Structure 1
Amino acid sequence: MKTFKTNLITTAFLASGITLGSLPVMAQQNDTSQTDAEEQTVEVIEVSGIRASLQKSQAIKMSESSIVEAITAEDIGKLPDSSIAESIARLPGLAAQRLNGRSSSISIRGLGEDFSTATFNGREQVTLGDNRGVEFDVYPSEIMNEVIVYKTPEATLMTQGIGGTIDMRTIKPLAHGEQTVAVTLRGEKNDIGALNPDGEDTGYRGSFSYIDQFADDTIGLAIAYSHMDSPNNEERFETWGWPDGTIGGMKPFVRSAELTRDTLMAVVEFNPTNDLRVNADALYIDFEDNQVLRGIEIPAAWGDAGIRVDETLNGQSLTGRIGGPGSPVGGVVRNDVTIREADLFALGVNVEYDLNADWVLEFDAAYSQVERKTWALETYAGSGRGFSDRQPEQINFSFAPNFQSVNLNPMLDYGDHSVIQLGNPQSWGWGNLTDLESDDDQDGFINTPTIDDELSTLRLAAQRVLSTDFISSVEFGAYFSQREKSKRDLGLFLTLPGALDSNGKVVPGYQLSVPEEYRLPNTSLGFIGIDDMISFDSFRFWQDGNYTEFDSRIADPARWENTWDVSEDISIAFIKANIDTELGNIPVRGNVGVQVVHTDQSSDGFTTRRRPNRSVEVSPTSGGDDYVEVLPSLNLIFEVADDQAVRFGISKTMSRSRMDRMNASTGDLSYNEQVNIWNGSVANPELKPVTANQVDLTYENYFHAEGYFAAALFYKDISDWQERLPSFVDTSDLTPPEGQPVAPLGVLSSWQNVGDGEVSGAEFTISLPGVMFADALEGFGGIFSATYLDSELSYELEVPTDLEGGTQVIEFTNNVPGLSDEVYNATVYYERHGFQTRVSVRKRTDFLGEVAGLSLNRVPVNVNGSTLVDAQISYDFSESGIESLDGLTVTLQAQNLTDEEFVTYHSVDGGTDVRDVQRFGRNYLFGINYTF
């Protein structure tokens, strides 16, 4: 058997709760004889804060048999950043996508949230979204002790993804070893200001943690409570598109949001004997996100007012005029509100029992559940109802040369309540089935989707210690999970009561001035040149019953297509052998194992058919499938020299399908009068996971307790990629709408497992403590990483070439969602004598992301690369010598210091085909942390 090196001993002490400050002493004692050590007096420099976090994270990385990255808390309730997403996005190979100004979605090695999994204390969790991807801003950083990112799998890791697995872990109170109380309080401010009259630009966060041990350290307790009121404001310029280089329409607005979150977490450990260990944890999160959006939606080339282009730049309209005499602009003034509420509950129990010196038995059971409700209200106002009633209007426009901003000069006063009134200026309709002759019936809309997600898991395992020269132990067992997720896509068409006569017919030209009791001070859209726009409390106006409501499901088949139930029953048998041997004189450790995964998936949904009177006929439908995947894995670590290792991994992994794609509901077949064909969508509840065979090779050199260098190469061979593809069917027997020709071919689209591809990359990381170069640089340091990625996805599609059955096969290529070709991270810090300062930079190139689209459905968009700069400075009064302030730390943080914008494009190549530009401003936080 091999002799463990210092780094493994260090890790073992860390796992036992030994303080990091003692580690330099252990290392020095190991390098000398026992006699010499007794004669020496060693000066111990105890580190804390970010340096302690780096040491512990480095020790975890060294000890794990899989390839991992780690972030650990600097102190109780204090991860390096105010957000879990921001902390882990700084790790090598990881990147974050901003959503509404906050880092939320994480990609691992170029693969987005759909291809990785997130766990809490090792257990899979339900999610607030429509799919499996975790929104990391739901989880407060204050309750986390560490986050481990598994880049390679092992057989005992029950939740795998072809990207990786992110495990969020709470503290272990018995390992912590002492009574501790920690209180944190931080104020927060947006420098962009409160952009809406009812918005906020200041907020606060607070947390309380209590850790203790009882009954001769056989019972441990950790309790944490966290509250957050976090403001967020945004100036946003959004375009409809650029047909033939001319602006199709635009929707500039300002958004004010406030994220409120209350979290309660408890951990109980019970170790009555050396043989029995019981751990239970519970988590409750009450989450509410309130957003107010106000702006003007302006049709241009895709409107009824027409557009005149005066100047172009690179083929796109630079200056010109929308509307004019006889063609008034139908600008729609929007006072929209989105409220998203969710309650998440998770409970887990783990029991380990040492049957004897050779056998360990484990039982783990968990349950998690979430309920999410959303209210997304749209209200419409303008200068008239429909084209014939609008007031004379024209808007001169001038774009910036990069087309990421515009200056508008309208004739009308959009801040005048006598000019801009509630109504339907764009003839948006079809919601009111009592007047089939009019499209002027929709004065607003409210989406009210709900999500229910429930997950139960059970794990039974055993470990057998072996006395061989190759295998040190074997772990085996079974895992069972049952998950049920449902979505109800509900919505209401809204019409002003006065807009309908006694027979339900639309009253031509009807508008309503906003009643005085709902009015608010005007909103400024100065960033586009419009200083005033009417504002009112639209949500209270709706709540007070000022709209007539029509259930959108009666007329809109898409509501039924997005309503579904998905169930998954998963059974896994696994076995893993832990390797501990020597190859020549080289110590080798690692593991080899396999999972056999059986999945039984099913979905219940609906199929629809539109009646002649616009209503929808609905029928239930269902489907599903079951399948078995075999997932082998091998991880080897060759300790080629002192504190140097080469890691090799080979495995097969899988990422389960998005749950909305496994939906059994089918869309409506409708006639497209622009191209004279029938089209619709077909469900695929039999959709299989995406799989990958992957190879990983890493070199690691741990040259200092706070310093290391790592270089990694990896390759993923991807199969069963999912694409939404069309299928061509004979529709010659269908009757087209009156006046339209018979369509011999129809197109039905569905998600299918058709594509193959590959993702490859290289990662380089170096952590450098300044003391390595000079004693005067003690406390200085930096950690730097660079990731380079390449990918290729392709699939073939057979398409018709004529109406006689001729076809040809065309090959397509696509982008990997979430993949940036280059990702860079850098953090430079100084920490000594109680002072801590650091500056962090995150840079990523363009990638394919996802944002909320029509009816709140997630849609893919091409996201411009960005560079984010954050900074922090703090002082720990424990080093001040003032006894009364011992345990107090004050901190000032600044996020997005360069005010980096979030920019998306309509086309893959980007360029000037701008879709969306979001500016969030800078965020400042000032706080105190008191630990005693």
Structure 2
Amino acid sequence: MILARENTTMTSGVRQTGPRKRILVTACCLGLFAAQWAQAQEQQATTTATESSAQEQDVNTLDAVVVTGIRQSIAKSVETKNESNSIVEAISAEDIGKLPDLSIADSISRLPGLATQRVDGRSQVINIRGMSEQFAGTLLNGREQVSTGDSRGVEFDQYPAELINAVTVYKTPDAALIGQGLSGTVDLQTIRPLDFGERRIVFSGHGEKNSLGEVSADGDDKGYRASASYVDQFADNTVGVALGIARISSPFQEEHYKAWWWADLDAVDWGDPPQAGRPANAIALQGSEGWVKSRDLTRDGVMGVLEFKPNETYHGILDLYYSKFDQDEVMHGTMWSNDPWFVGENGAGVTYSNATTTTIDGHQVVTGGTLNNVQPIVRNDSNTREDKLYSAGWSNTFKWDKYTLGADLSYSRAERNQSVLELYAGRLDGQSIDFNLGAGPGFNQYSLPDMADPNAVYLWDPQHYGHDGRLEDSRQEDTIKAFRLALNRTVDSDFLRSYDVGVNFNKRTKEKVATVYFADLPNGRAPQLVDPSDLNSPTSLGFVGMGDVLSFNPRRLLNEYYDVYVSESNDDLRKDFTVEEDVKTFYFRANLDMDLTDRIRLRGNAGVQYIRTDQESTGFNAASTLSSQTLGTSYGDILPSLNLVADFGDGWMLRFGAAKTLMRPPINYLSADSSAGVSTTAPFVWSGSGGNPTLEPYRARAFDLSFEKYFGEGNYVGLALFYKELETYIYRQNFPNWDFSEYTPDPNGPVPVSNFGNFSTWANGTGGLMRGVELSTALSGNTFHPALDGFGAQLNVSYTESSIDPDPNDSSLGTDTIPGLSKIVANATVYYEKHGFSARLSQRYRDRYRGEYSALFGQRQYRFTLSERTLDLQLNYDFPESSPLSGLSVLLQANNLTNEPFRTEVSESTGTGLFFPEEYTEYGRQYLIGFRYKL
């Protein structure tokens, strides 16, 4: 699949995308039309009001909303956006435990300027305004949350949508908001039972199926989801209780192909041996892989809320949340290297025969032929993961006279235990592989010998890794303990409504420990056949023409066939670290409310935070003498913020925000690990690399402007502009005059010529700008014409650009985008809801971006991810109150209707500037059918 890219042309290595402008122009025209129509409606409403006072309508509030379901959810969300003093986006559940999507990440990603990054086929992390999840803050009921990954980015698939009642995304900072991010802050909210005002019991259940079917004998394509919730009030509505439980057992299937790397090996002098039959000066693929994965996810979530409000003086709320997330994954596939450096068992390298080339942008690319003397490895992997997430918070509010005192105590902890096992097999001699690399999107095609023959495929190390299997067990724990005091005082003033002062103490500790084992066959690692009783049915890789591969349960074989022992390199030892942060936040906020004129009301807030951070890390100094080291630093920041809303009446609003913001470095960057050594060839100089516990945050100045028009029930159109100037950014940098005097050279190695050399680490550097525009609207059909009653749409599109180059020292990549930046992000939802029936069709689009993913052996890796369009459908019917089935709803949902593939590309390795296809993976469609019953 050569240079396969939808609607994209390449000229001299520069990408050009025509449809982007058309998407943006279409959305802008729609917004302008809606605004003009809204103005006409307001004029008509004014005329009608003078004729009949009985038809008066206040378009500035949504207090009279009486619709239910989708329209009610949209109306509540629009109301939240309307009434906020900040620039926010919001989601509100249609009913208890009924958010618009079954995935909380999917729901959030439909908001203007937000996008989700798919991981293993499901939405997992959120990118806000073109910045990766590392730049976003995540709260649960206003409290900062830990992460189950090895950094700060929260994985939203840990939070069942059935237990979340609303979400607010703050795009502008607020001095009283603790734990906010640089790109934005996501606040997940559970229900408040006293606000709900009535008893409600809800049960739901869904069956689930993946369209790819069972891709392997030990996989499953069927699952289920079930949830139940209970909300009630007691003692004259002074005590409220909410309980919820949700379980998901979900199958995910995967058909995967990946091209390893591309290069014209004649264009550079890498000392590579010649390859017979390879066309001279042609770009060739140097390795390939194909596999299938079956992934079973089981998640149990529990939510509890106890609310107590005996009088107007005291209000207490106890929130508890727990989730347990188990993932069992099996992989069966094959892969090989065919670069000039690979030498087979017979001592010969890989050669080509009958090679054909295609001219692409003036370069010859090998697209077909036969590879000879390749030794494909058959991989059977078993990966398990168990995540546990705990969160508890106890808030107490005391009111007297003009004062309100709040005290909040919270605790959040995440635990992850992960085990990654891979075992190797293959034929004993070199093989010939026919290949055909197509020019269009899809899977490439290969022809392999029978890799499932139990009499010819042995357990051994065909690719010469130096071991016959590898196991890595890791454990990490992330804990936040926090306490907050806040005081609010109302003020009798023409411009100042009240002010807030507060302090928050936050202690965070993140620990990670990993152990690596090698598995070797006995008798000097002699190849061994697998007993037929230990084999599963062969797994088909027919989607890439690779035929069947030998398949087995590697956990079962590990103790039966292998000797297992600990074997850790310096890189493995450096994975262990502890990072501690003590963060003290002091803030003041003045809440403004005044009438500028008879028609213009100004509200908002102005405030400042002072944040004092003390951080330290302990990690391994993996030099010749292994030892631990503890390093750290302290710093303080003053962060002013301003949010103003000018309400011109008749639904017209102008919002302005200005602030200084920060985001502390990714936690894994702060690891105190390091490794160093002396070169084994003259001039015998030191070199090393490691983390940096003395890093300071990303810091930025942000400015926002938003024009909004609200009309009718749940209708609005908005145009937002934002500008962020990042004063600092964190880069991987080289320090050529690093002092290595505290490192001990290998006593059996060469003597260094001096104590100075090159050290590579993360460091603060200059930043750059980010800017963008967002257009969004929510429209109901009956606002235009009574015949359209029940129809509606939510549409948004955003454009973001940045001057930041995250790899300024890597000239081979040119100017890269920062992680998470898609220049174009668009969402469209159209729906119909009437007489109990509802239908919703939603599509998400994001432009190509630079994603951050888990890579080989648990490391993090940036990959150029191509554009995605995912389409979801939901059909629902609520039985009417007159029916014996009143309270029952039935639902049919299809996610990823078009089976949108996950695609990445990689730059050619010898500086041509061309990008070639890297990964192409399909996950299939997810179908759900189920019910929901409420009492």
Scaled by the length of structure 1, the TM-score of the pair is 0.87
Please report how far the alpha carbon of residue 756 of structure 1 lies from its aligned counterpart in structure 2 after TM superposition.
Answer: 1.1
Residue 644 and residue 681 in structure 1: after superposition, are their counterparts in 2 closer, same or farther (change >3 A)? Answer: same
2:463 maps to a residue whose letter is Q
Is 1:335 matched with 2:380?
yes
Choose which of 365, 368, 382 in structure 2 pairs with 1:319. Answer: 368
In 2, Cα distance between equivalents of 1:846 and 1:705: 36
CA distance in 2, matches of 1:342, 1:286: 6
Q: Cα deviation per residue 1:532-560 (whole Å; 9 max; x = unaligned)?
A: 11101112222x4532222123xx00112
Q: Who is 1:915 aligned against? A: 918
CA offset digits 1:431-453 (Å, max 9, x no partner): xxxxxxxxxxx000011111111
Q: Residues 210 and 222 of structure 1 are in contact (CA less than 8 Å); yes or no, is this contact kept in structure 2?
A: yes
- The reply to whether residue 664 of structure 1 matches residue 672 of structure 2 is yes
Mapped partners of 2:808, 2:396: distance in 1: 52
User: 1:726 is matched with which residue?
Assistant: 734
User: Cα deviation per residue 1:417-437 (whole Å; 9 max; x = unaligned)?
Assistant: 1111111112212xxxxxxxx
Does 2:566 align with 1:551? Answer: yes
Mark the CA change 1:706 to 1:811 in structure 2 (over 3 Å): closer, same or farther. Answer: closer
1:255 to 256, 270, 293: 293
Q: Which residue is equivalent to 1:709?
A: 717
Q: 1:105 to 1:541 in 2, by over 3 A?
A: same
Give the secondary structure class of the aligned counterpart of 1:53: helix
Q: 1:71 to 1:797 in 2, by over 3 A?
A: closer
- Within a 5 Å distance, the mapping from 1:781-820 to structure 2 comes to 781-794=792-805, 813-820=815-822
* Alignment partner of 1:780 is 2:791: yes
Report the alpha carbon displacement of residue 491 of structure 1 after superposing the two structures with TM: 1.2
- Measured in 1, the distance between the counterparts of 2:607 and 2:151 equals 29
Counterpart of 1:833?
A: 835
Aligned 8 A contact 1:415 1:532 in 2: yes
- Cα distance in 2 for partners of 1:157, 1:448 equals 38
Match of 1:434 in 2: none
Aligned residue identity for 1:359: Y
Structure 2 counterpart of 1:468, from 478, 485, 493: 493
Q: Select 2:422's aligned residue among 378, 381, 388.
A: 378
* Partner Cα separation in structure 2 for residue 147 and residue 652 of structure 1: 24
Superimposed CA distance per residue, residues 273-322 of structure 1 (whole angstroms, 9 cap, x where no aligned partner): 12110000101111111111110011112533414261222232211222
Residues 1:307 and 1:402: Cα distance change in structure 2 (over 3 Å): farther
8 Å contact from structure 1 (residues 731, 743) kept in 2: no
CA distance in 2, matches of 1:730, 1:137: 42
- State the Cα distance separating 1:622 from its structure 2 match: 1.1
1:565 is aligned to: 578
Picking from 366, 369, 372, the partner of 2:413 is 369
Displacement of 1:680 in angstroms is: 2.8
Match for residue 334 of structure 2? 296
Name the structure 1 match of 2:690: 682
Provide the C-alpha distance between the structure 2 equivalents of 1:771 and 1:642, rounded to a whole number of angstroms.
19
> What are the within-5 Å matches in structure 2 for residues 848-927 of structure 1?
848-878=850-880, 881-882=882-883, 884-907=884-907, 912-927=915-930
Secondary structure class of the residue paired with 1:272: coil
- Checking the alignment, whether the CA contact within 8 Å between 2:393 and 2:409 is kept in structure 1 is yes
Segment drifting more, 708-717 vs 764-773: 764-773
Query: Which deviates the most, 299-308 or 672-681?
Result: 672-681
- Do the aligned residues in 2 keep the contact of 1:368 with 1:456 (CA within 8 Å)? yes
Distance in 1 of aligned mates of 2:153 and 2:806: 25
Give the distance between the partners of 1:816 and 1:672, measured in 2 at CA: 36
Q: CA RMSD in A?
A: 2.9
Contact 1:723 1:755 (8 Å CA) reproduced: no
Q: 1:653 is matched with which residue?
A: 661
Unaligned runs of 5+ in 1: 1-27, 385-390, 430-441, 501-506, 611-616, 800-808
- Taking a change above 3 Å as real, the CA distance of residues 724 and 118 of structure 1, as seen in their structure-2 partners, is same
| Cα gap change, 1:904 to 1:672, in 2 (>3 Å) | farther
Please show how residues 2-401 of structure 1 align to structure 2 within 5 Å.
Answer: 46-244=66-264, 245-301=283-339, 303-304=342-343, 305-308=349-352, 310-313=355-358, 314=360, 315-323=364-372, 328-356=373-401, 358-384=402-428, 391-401=429-439
Asked if structure 2 preserves the Cα contact closer than 8 Å seen for 1:754 and 1:796, the reply is no
Alpha-carbon separation, structure 1, partners of 2:215 and 2:506:
46
Which residue type is aligned with residue 540 of structure 2? S
Tell me if 1:604 matches 2:653: no
Q: Distance in 2 between matches of 1:550 and 1:915?
A: 34
Task: Report the equivalent of 2:540.
Answer: 524
Higher mean alpha-carbon deviation, 920-929 vs 515-524, is at 515-524
Q: CA deviation at 1:75?
A: 1.3
Quickly say closer, same or farther: Cα 1:923–1:743, change in 2 above 3 A. farther
- Residues 623, 674 of structure 2: 8 Å contact kept: no
State the AA in 2 paired with 1:424: D
- Residue 422 of structure 1 is aligned with which of 459, 470, 483? 459
Q: CA distance change for structure 1 residues 155 and 735 in 2, over 3 Å: closer, same or farther?
A: closer
- The residue type equivalent to 1:857 in the other structure is Q
Do the aligned partners of residues 745 and 473 (structure 1) sit closer, same or farther apart at CA in structure 2, a change above 3 Å counting?
closer
Higher RCO (CA 8 Å, separation ≥ 6 residues): 2
Change (3 A) 1:224 1:902: same
Give 1:193 shift.
Answer: 1.1
Hey, what's the Cα distance between the residues in 2 that align with 1:369 and 1:712? 36
Q: Is the 8 A contact 2:450 2:547 kept in 1?
A: no
How far apart are 1:774 and its partner, in Å? 1.4
Q: Is the 8 A contact 1:382 1:422 kept in 2?
A: yes
Alpha-carbon contact 1:403-1:912 (below 8 Å) kept = no
Which piece of structure 1 moves more, 746-755 or 866-875? 746-755
Change (3 A) 1:38 1:721: closer
Q: 2:640 aligns with which of 632, 647, 672?
A: 632
Match status 1:930 vs 2:930: no
Tell me the TM-score normalized by structure 2: 0.87
- Quick one: which amino acid aligns to residue 251 of structure 2? P
By how many angstroms is 1:402 displaced?
A: 3.9
